[in-house]
Amino acid sequence: MVGFQLEKIDIKKSIGTFITMVLLIWLIAQISPSFTNKYKKVPVFAQEFVMGKVLSVEQNDLVRDPYVEGRYNGSQKYTVLIQEGSQKGNEFTVYNTLSSLKSAYAYEGLEAVFTVRTSTDGKISVWLYNYRRDKALYALAMVLIILVILIGKNEGINSLLALAFTAAIIVYVVVPMMWSPHPILIAIISSIIICLVSFLLIAGWTRKAIVASIGTLLGISLAGVICYSFGRLQDLSGVDMTKGESLLYLAQDSNFKIKSLLFVSILISSLGATMDIAMSIASSGTQIVRTKPDITNKELFVALINVGKDIIGTMTNTLILSFCGASLPLAMLIWGYDMSYMQFINIPIIVIDILQALSGSIGMVTSVIFTAVAFVALPKRKGE
């Protein structure tokens, strides 16, 4: 009978680990700005994104959008009460323009996110920025957390802490340090830290964790090198990526090296899947050795490669499908405009998407070999 009894969770150990990781994440969040704020672009306008409530709608000149169901085109005029920020308690008249691309429809009683912008001459402008959607995300995240803890117990708690740590490293270190003189080096070091901390949380200081870290880092490094090298040979850079052109405006006023974006993006995007494969191989190796302690290194290596064969097919498919899913609107444009093969296969953004999928898959496949070699080469520790 499968049970989900709470007492099976090591409460003391989990609390200790939780406090340690929370303090570590807090330190990262506190220390990061002292190194990264100098790279941040100073905004031209002072603006806030705050909650507001629509008190009344005075004018509605709207028609239903002919292309997007449930949306409107036209304009609105309404009065909004700002509920937080520097203008809390003040009322403003807002003119709202709706289109197929931006259709935040306002109605009496609507509570949404408003932009409050103060220009250099002190003039205040207010408009409807977007509906509030974060509460739904919090609820969904809570469902995931509960399920992971109920099913995973201590390992589930540790995996959530590893996820939070990974998010902190990416948000507070990798992204802002893209403006530093050495973004690729920072990304590699960050990946090493993410791997070590994640695997140590999940598997402890074991041969399995060390081997999985080695396999992951070698795999994603190879993928990044392939992507970066191919990109340079084919005159591709971060500016050709989705939203890459917007970064040009930031690059003009900073030291942002946009070419490094290709390497870093493939490093981050393939990290999770490669970690899965490396840990699966390392876990399989641990079980094989426990079942057959007298197995030779050659037999162990062959067994691990055979395990990897079954994993490779689905994980490679998973990575490529994730890239395809992200590029689905682009694929629809290709089909809709009836582009020829020679036309669309040479569009930079399509080449980059395919390049990322292929190089990421190469990194995952080779991580099987790297992990197997590392597992065989690393001496067995006592008790493992």
Confidence of residue 54 (pLDDT cuts 50, 70, 90): very high
Range with the lowest mean pLDDT among 10-14, 281-285, 336-340, 360-364?
10-14
Question: Is the separation of the CB atoms in 80 and 94 below 8 Å?
Answer: yes
What CATH code would you report for 175-377?
1.20.1640
Residue 4: is its pLDDT beyond 60?
no
How much is the average pLDDT of 255-271?
Answer: 77
Torsion of CA 321, 229, 211, 153, to 10 degrees: -40
Name which of 231, 332, 315 is nearest 281 in CA terms: 315
For helices 271-291 and 207-233, angle between their N-to-C axes, nearest 10 degrees: 150
Determine what percent of the chain is predicted with pLDDT higher than 70.
88
Continuous H helices in the chain: 11-36, 134-169, 183-203, 207-233, 244-251, 260-269, 271-291, 297-326, 328-336, 341-344, 348-377
Q: Is the pLDDT of residue 46 over 80?
A: no
**What integer is the mean pLDDT of 137-150?**
92
What is the structure's pLDDT at 38?
A: 74
b/e sequence 149-179, b meaning 16+ C-beta within 10 Å = beeebbebbbbbbbbebbebbeebbbebbbb
Is 232 strand, coil or helix? Answer: helix
3-state class (DSSP) for residue 48:
strand
Q: Burial level of 105, CB count in 10 A (0-12/13-18/19+)? A: middle
pLDDT at 89: 92
What residue segments make up the domains of the chain, in order of their start? Answer: 46-134, 175-377
Per the CB < 8 A criterion, the answer to whether 50 and 102 are in contact is: no
User: What is the Cα 241 distance to its own chain's centre?
Assistant: 16
pLDDT (tens digit per residue) in 323-379:
777 778 778 888 888 888 888 888 888 888 888 888 888 888 899 999 999 999 887
DSSP string, 60-116: EEEEE-SSSTT-EEEEEEEEEEE-SSTTTT-EEEEEEEE-SS------TT-EEEEEE
Structure tokens at 326: 């992200």
- AA identity, residue 231: G
Q: Which residues lie across from 75 on neighbouring strands?
A: 61, 97
Q: Which residue has the tokens 């290194």?
A: 297
CATH architecture of the domain formed by 46-134 = Beta Barrel (2.40)
